[in-house]
Amino acid sequence: MLALRGRDSAVISQILGQQSINCTECGSVAELAAHLDDDASAAIVTEESLDGVLDSELASRLGNQPPWSDFPFILLATKRVGKRPAAAVAVLETLGNVVLLERPIHSDTLFQAVQSALRGRRRQWEARRHLAELQSAEGRLTQLNSSLEQLIAERTYELSRANDRLTGEIAERERAQGALVQSQKMEAVGQLTGGIAHDFNNLLTVISGNLDMIHRRTTDPKTETQAGHAIQAADRAAKLTQQLLVFSRSQKLVLEPVDLNALLKGMGDLLERTIGADAGVELVPDPRQPYALADKNQLELAVLNLAINARDAMPDGGLIRISSYSADGSFPDIDARHFGIITVSDNGPGIPAHLKERVFDPFFTTKPVGKGTGLGLSQVYGIAQQSGGTVLLETEPGCGTSVSIWLPLAQPAAEPTAGRQSAAKAVQSRRLKIFVVEDDAEVLRFIIECLESYGCEVRYAPNGPDALIQLAASCPDLLMVDFAMPGMNGAELVQKAWQIHPDIPVLMATGYADMNAVGKVIPPECVLQKPFRSEELLAAIDAVIVRAER
């Protein structure tokens, strides 16, 4: 913080300190520039303190930031009438990443600006880490190539009689290396996508949760209709974030009965946007309405991969036919005898006979480097195997290709509405004392309002360390924690909480989590995926309490 007026510095330090944000006061521009090397996250400065900044050490350091860095400033300015002078505009351009707040400023406005700046800076540090990992991977590949070239040079004379075979092996190795580099890029994109989905799920929890409360409480038919439309839009947005999480491959397989017809219908818009106008898409649902045991999100990913492969197999256009049906079959190492099937067919050139046995191998692809990783079909096969099924391929040169995902048939799941209504009544009758740990203030506010409206007594903390201090003083009936929190994630917090209160029931809410880390601490039935509405929250709480009472 640079040159704040009067008690502004002390007041702002106190406000931010209550949220565990450490502040350092600077007496000059030069001192502020020196602190940029101390892993500072953001700076709060006053406009009048920046005279002469254009030729200062601060301007030089900002101009020499690494490519991943764009240091954030929060500039406190006096309210002006008319345009800002050219000198002031030049200062803003020099600072670059600036949030301009005119005084007087409400504390909530300042806190939200600081939170936004800190989140942006953490994203920059995450990008720095990813860049370092990519550079390290490139270095390892370069070293591998050097070793390979040296080995080839040493054995040139010995292998001269097998020159043709050696040339083929080198070409295959280069193709595999290219596929590996591409897969690493896709992994980095997947991690970034998962982070974006986490933030969207937090926003959608607040939006859909509050819309649901408005929809249930309003007596105005017009307001009820408008809230219903908004809830439908929020549900569509939630589905998009689920597809982002599937792309990032950050979710563990959760098997449940899936309506295959409904799955195809729900993917209609996604398939049309992804496939484009070069190929037509025909959906053929089974009138018998088959249900199969699968992870819905992963199955959507598998169907999408097959559809993209079908499109790429028909560069001049064609028809992709996606159908669902049920059949009986018998396969080695598979217990099921009745299957629900999704088949993706194209009328392309088919797959040559000598390649049929290799299409499901990881990193095998006939596409040019950059056009495919060779992971799509192997991922489809892995999803089917983990779901207790298999994948069958039918193809003939010149007659197109059909790929079928066989999954064990299942009975439809029971309608949960009545159970959720009874869960709400059960939670309301228990008068539970619930401790909530959530770092997103808006999500926390929604959870508190929802639980208090059903008679719960709610205490809360914004992070793990604060939560442990409060838990040491008292034991609630249930602990509800977010997973992705700075410093200490939800799984770590739960383990420490159980050291204080070994029998405390736990519900973990998450929009994006390393489910392997969660699964080591919390069973799947004690995990609530964001975004969620009030009835889903109450049902999850009731299920955890009932489970703990058994």
Domain boundaries, the chain: 8-124, 154-247, 252-408, 417-549
Name the CATH architecture for the domain at 154-247.
Orthogonal Bundle (1.10)
Q: In this predicted structure, what is the pLDDT of residue 105?
A: 81
Q: DSSP letter for 395, please.
A: E
- The SS3 assignment for 41 reads coil
Residues 103-117, mean pLDDT to the nearest whole number: 86
As a whole number, mean pLDDT of residues 477-497 equals: 91
| Cβ 218 vs Cβ 227: under 8 Å | yes
Cis check for the bond before 531: say yes or no (omega within 30 of 0): yes
Sheet order of strands, 318-328 included: 279-284, 318-328, 338-346, 401-408, 390-395
CATH superfamily of the 8-124 domain: Cobalamin-binding domain (3.40.50.280)
pLDDT tens-digit series, residues 370-406: 454 444 577 788 888 888 889 998 888 888 899 999 9
Average pLDDT along the chain? 82
Q: Is the pTM of this model over 0.85?
A: no
Q: What is the mean pLDDT of residues 496-501?
A: 94
Sheet strands (E) in 347-427: 390-395, 401-408
- Confidence bin at 252 (pLDDT 50/70/90): low
For residue 265, which amino acid is it? K
More confident residue, 174 or 141: 141
- Tokens 């949960």 identify what position? 416
Most confident of 44-48, 364-368, 500-504, 534-538: 500-504
pLDDT at residue 323, as a whole number: 95
The two most distant CA atoms of the chain are separated, in Å, by 89
Q: Does CATH number 3.40.50.2300 belong to domain 417-549?
A: yes
What is the β-pairing status of strands 506-510 and 478-482? parallel
Torsions phi, psi for 57 (to 5 deg): -65, -30
CA angle 150, 154, 155 (to 5 degrees): 120
Report the sign of the C-alpha dihedral through residues 14, 19, 24, 25, in that order. Answer: negative
Look up residue 370 and give its amino acid: G
By CB atoms closer than 10 A (0-12, 13-18, 19+), residue 480 is buried
What pLDDT score was predicted for residue 480?
95
Tell which CATH classification among 3.30.565.10, 3.40.630.30, 3.40.50.970, 3.30.499.10 matches the domain 252-408. Answer: 3.30.565.10
Per-residue pLDDT tens over the stretch 282-315: 999 998 889 999 988 788 888 988 898 888 888 8
Domains 252-408 and 417-549 equal at CATH topology level:
no
pLDDT at residue 373 in the model: 44
Using one digit for the tens of pLDDT, what is the confidence trace for 52-78?
788 788 888 888 888 888 899 998 887
pLDDT-based confidence at residue 250 (cuts at 50, 70, 90): very low
Would you state the pLDDT for residue 418?
47
